[in-house]
Structure 1
Amino acid sequence: MDAPASPAALEPTLLDSLIRIAPSISPHANAIDNLERLSGGATQEIWRFVVIGPNGRDSKILRRARQGAKVGETGIGLEMEAELVAAAAAAGVPVPRVDYVLRPADGLGRGYVMNCIDGETLGGRIVKSEKFAAARQTLASDCGTILAQIHAVDPARFAWLDRRSPVQLVDQWLAVYRAGSVVRPVFELAFRWLASHVPADPDRPALVHGDFRNGNLMIGPEGVRAVLDWELAHIGDPMEDLGWLCVNSWRFGCIDRPVGGFGRQEDLFDAYERQSGRRVNRTAIRWWEIFGTIRWGAICAGGLANFRLADPTIERAMIARRASETEIDLLRLLSD
């Protein structure tokens, strides 16, 4: 997990509220210990704590909207996110177990509690550390299998999820980009290319994770332990998830390994096709990789205004400066 934030970030009222609902989190629990806020989490608060009961100590994670109330404009909502995580678990996807969904009476705002799974989420370490050398041999295949399991979840169960066509998504992110104050010719070129090469709608729309990438996977020396951060899930083209995983920003410097900085596309695609029975559309995946790159670029570019006005955090500043990296990636992709 990420390193804990400073003790000054702790909230006594949060601790009191967690103590009060401890029996709902874990049967017969009677105390809470070691509450700490973890760094990271650009859109949500992440807290780690221990529940204490007759059977001993059990580590938990609270994923909560900022200050218990602020919810991102593009997120599905934490209650719905918890429901999706539970459905994914039933489909065989490695995810944390959801133990409790917060209620208004709890006084904690919006969020949910899950079991704590140890491992590494920092992409740079995953692609470079010797500790994960064995895992990297099969990570691309593992991701193909896991994505197939996610896409096998019946989308009809989640009628409340957003459904947007590729054309609508291009328009959405073009508007996000143009809301900023900086004109970027490379972005303009990429948006025009996307609009003129829109892929056909999928035969079978699927549950799309929306942010399946290196950095949102909990990794151990043996491989993937959990898929995290479901807040951008929606119904759409399953090729979107595969393209997003291949975006260069998630390779953390290992650009010769197009799948997350740790693997080959052939391994990802072969495992996906074996598990899903769907045929991988490589042309559509390239479109989604370019779309994913401009989507991340628009997010980065917009981070400057967010940093200056609403979210003056180090994470936001670091994200804002990466817009230029996506311009380089787009030039490379569009020249192929």
Structure 2
Amino acid sequence: MAERLSKDELARRLSTLAPRMAEGAERIDNLVRLTGGASMETWAFDAVGPGGAVPLILRRRTRAVESTAVNKPPLRREAEAIARAVAGGVPAPDVTYVCDEAADGLDEAYVMRRIGGETLGKKITSDPAFEPARGKLARQCGAALARIHAVEPLDGLDRTDAATTLANYEATWRATGNVRPTIEAAFRWLEKRLPTEPVTPRFVHGDFRNGNIMVDPEAGLAAVLDWELVHIGDPAEDLGWLCTSSWKFGRPDRYVGGFGDIEDLLAGYVEAGGEPISAARVDFWSMLGSLKWGVMTMGMYASFAADPTAGPERGVIGRRLSETEADIVAIIERNAA
């Protein structure tokens, strides 16, 4: 586990590093903790110098990496993946500094430019101010994913496919000792429907969903965020995860992220150079996404039960298992019709 730092101590250490984060910067100001994940801290701050303030974001790992179907790369590799994606035309923040774990006192961390926009999924799907963005967002996401999948992968990334992902999550589930009929049905349903078409493995984002994209109310997609699960695999995995019901934030009627249609997503993907992907393959990965999230919720609850001092977030996430079970039943029922 990373060293726990007070806000004042973190500000002091960041100020020491300010000249490396932004040209001419002498100190940092306006340090604010943002809503973040269960194993990462995300902070907003300004690097300040005679030339003005440069808005930045710090991403810092604070807890051990959770067990998933793929290993999360070190944050240094995550930062390198973002840099490659930006070079390939993907809308993402520029990384300005990667911390030296031994010398900088921030453990695993990197700093990137702060981009304006909204990440709250509920606002993106339902706020009237975002109606202009919703009309174009699915197609923009398709284009961004095509560019991500065209990136030359980093050496040493995990490789996986549908069968391996399903087997890994089943092994993780069995290790919990839990028995839930709906989860059991999902494993068997997916096992019978594993894609048989040949797939060219691509660089995959791994967590492309509503909530991990920055959206401008008028212009739409501003940036793709949270690259900690990058790996090599089936590009349809990214499209299916975006369409997983858990990330529709109260708008199940809009198949893509709660804001758009599958036709626009697939059209944007092909227009930007992606190889055509069938809607059926996306639907398979969407179902697998619901199952994956169900397994992960129980893992997070187990983590909370073992160490409640880490905070209530993981325990609350554990209660979302029932949501994924409802989604699984709905998908099975829809495909049986």
TM-score of the superposed pair, with normalisation by structure 2: 0.92
1:54 aligns with 2:50: yes
- Separation in 2 of the partners of 1:269 and 1:125? 24
Deviation track 1:278-318 (CA, whole Å, cap 9, x = no partner) reads: 11122221211111110011111222211112364232122
Alignment equivalent of 1:254, drawn from 251, 262, 265: 251
Matched residue of 1:58: which SS? strand
Q: How far off its partner does 1:152 sit?
A: 1.0
Q: How far off its partner does 1:191 sit?
A: 0.6
Alignment equivalent of 1:138, drawn from 114, 136, 139: 136
Residue aligning to 1:224: 221
1:275 aligns with 2:291: no
- Separation in 2 of the partners of 1:11 and 1:160? 35
Gapped runs of 5+ residues in structure 1?
A: 1-7
The one-letter code sitting in structure 2 at the alignment partner of 1:154 is: E
Q: How far off its partner does 1:110 sit?
A: 0.9
Q: How far off its partner does 1:271 sit?
A: 1.3
CA contact (8 A) 1:61 1:113 kept: yes
Residue aligning to 2:24: 28
CA contact (8 A) 1:10 1:37 kept: no
1:186 aligns with 2:177: no
Aligned length: 325
Matched residue of 1:276: which SS? coil
TM-score of the superposed pair, with normalisation by structure 1: 0.92
Deviation track 1:128-172 (CA, whole Å, cap 9, x = no partner) reads: 0011010000111111111111011123xx121100232221111
1:94 aligns with 2:91: yes
Which structure 2 residues correspond to residues 48-127 of structure 1 after superposition, within 5 A?
A: 48-66=44-62, 70-73=64-67, 74-103=71-100, 104-127=102-125
CA contact (8 A) 1:217 1:224 kept: yes
Q: Residues 100, 202 of structure 1: CA spacing in aligned structure 2 closer, same or farther, 3 A cutoff?
A: farther
CA contact (8 A) 1:102 1:111 kept: yes
Alignment equivalent of 1:285, drawn from 261, 282, 285: 282
Alignment equivalent of 2:332, drawn from 325, 331, 334: 334
Residue aligning to 1:5: none
- Separation in 2 of the partners of 1:115 and 1:329? 36
Q: How far off its partner does 1:202 sit?
A: 4.1
CA contact (8 A) 2:305 2:315 kept: no
Matched residue of 1:138: which SS? helix
Residue aligning to 1:206: 202
CA contact (8 A) 1:165 1:201 kept: no
Residue aligning to 1:4: none
Deviation track 1:201-257 (CA, whole Å, cap 9, x = no partner) reads: 644211111110000001111201110001111101101111111111111111110
Q: How far off its partner does 1:181 sit?
A: 4.2
- Separation in 2 of the partners of 1:300 and 1:34? 34
CA RMSD in angstroms comes to 1.7
Residue aligning to 2:147: 149
The one-letter code sitting in structure 2 at the alignment partner of 1:126 is: I
The one-letter code sitting in structure 2 at the alignment partner of 1:137 is: G
- Separation in 2 of the partners of 1:285 and 1:168? 17
Identical columns (%): 46
Gapped runs of 5+ residues in structure 2?
A: none
CA contact (8 A) 1:205 1:235 kept: yes
Deviation track 1:51-97 (CA, whole Å, cap 9, x = no partner) reads: 1112111121110111xx74444421200000000001011111011
The one-letter code sitting in structure 1 at the alignment partner of 2:7 is: E
- Separation in 2 of the partners of 1:26 and 1:71? 29
Q: How far off its partner does 1:44 sit?
A: 0.8
Of 283-292 and 255-264, deviating more is 283-292
1:239 aligns with 2:201: no
- Separation in 1 of the partners of 2:157 and 2:97? 22
Q: Residues 277, 167 of structure 1: CA spacing in aligned structure 2 closer, same or farther, 3 A cutoff?
A: closer
The one-letter code sitting in structure 2 at the alignment partner of 1:97 is: D
Matched residue of 1:137: which SS? helix
1:169 aligns with 2:162: no
- Separation in 2 of the partners of 1:215 and 1:204? 28
